[in-house]
Amino acid sequence: MAYIISGVILILLLMTDIVRTTLTTRGEGLISAFVSGAFRKVACSSIRAGHRPSEIIGSISISTLALVWLAGLWAGWVLVFMGIPDAIAHSGDMSGVDLHDVIYFVGFTLSTLGTGDLFPTTRGAQIATVLSSFSGLLIVTLIVTYAVSVVSAVVARRVLAYKIYLNGGNEGEFLSEFPDIENFAAWVAGIKNELVSCTEQRLAYPVLDNFVSRDERFSLPVQLARLGLVTFQGES
């Protein structure tokens, strides 16, 4: 029973983290925040040491997070099946199974592969098999959806950064691109919706902070800093 309780707790914690991270606009769950925060610290340490930021930190963050989710869910269901007496048997000789067999069974169940050489023998194990299969399909779908959403947000940030660059972001010469301050103010108002969209995406996906660009033309923080400086100077 202790195995089952431990496994269920682990599964619930992971599913809560996954749902909060991928299906809500409230940012990251605890596990997700820890993983992305760890890579963010590595990137910051590299910058402080004088190195240029790596552009693959963001991709590594998402890949690692996906592996943590999958491994955690796998481990949780292994604990559940280990807690069910005689839960799994070989289809050929009906002999018992060891830990390796349980790990293998849970793995192909989560992936919805189902090779047939192992099968659940009790009603409890059958229900657990169905639930684990559904959870595996759900987590893979959510991971893919999350990754696509994050990449789309990264592209939107790069597009906005380059748009700002083309309108004077190079060396901060914004005002020289416009005949007067009124035209400059109108242009800033014109990108308001894009700024709001990028802000909301940042709140929904904090992992966006891990996607950095070595080319300042596509770096939104750099271009916004230049735009903000010019705006402040214009107001003063």
pLDDT digits (tens, 9 = 90+) for 12-26: 999 999 999 998 888
DSSP 119: E
Residue 153 CA to residue 151 CA, distance in Å, equals 5
Tell me what pLDDT residue 135 has. 92
Q: Which residue has the higher pLDDT, 44 or 103?
A: 103
Whole-number mean pLDDT of the chain?
Answer: 84
Q: In the predicted model, is pLDDT for residue 195 greater than 80? A: yes
CA dihedral 76, 81, 84, 88 (to 10 degrees): 180
Tell me what pLDDT residue 157 has. 92
- Identify whether the C-beta of residue 125 lies closer than 8 Å to the C-beta of residue 88: yes
Q: For 43-94, how does the pLDDT look when each residue is reduced to its tens digit (9 = 90+)?
A: 777 777 666 667 788 899 999 999 999 999 999 999 999 988 888 888 777 6
> Helices 181-190 and 220-235 sit at what angle, rounded to 10 degrees?
140
- Per domain, the residue ranges of the chain are 2-235
175 pLDDT band, cuts 50/70/90, is low
Tell me what pLDDT residue 9 has. 95
Q: Which residue has the higher pLDDT, 45 or 141?
A: 141
| pTM score | 0.85
* pLDDT, mean of residues 90-116: 81
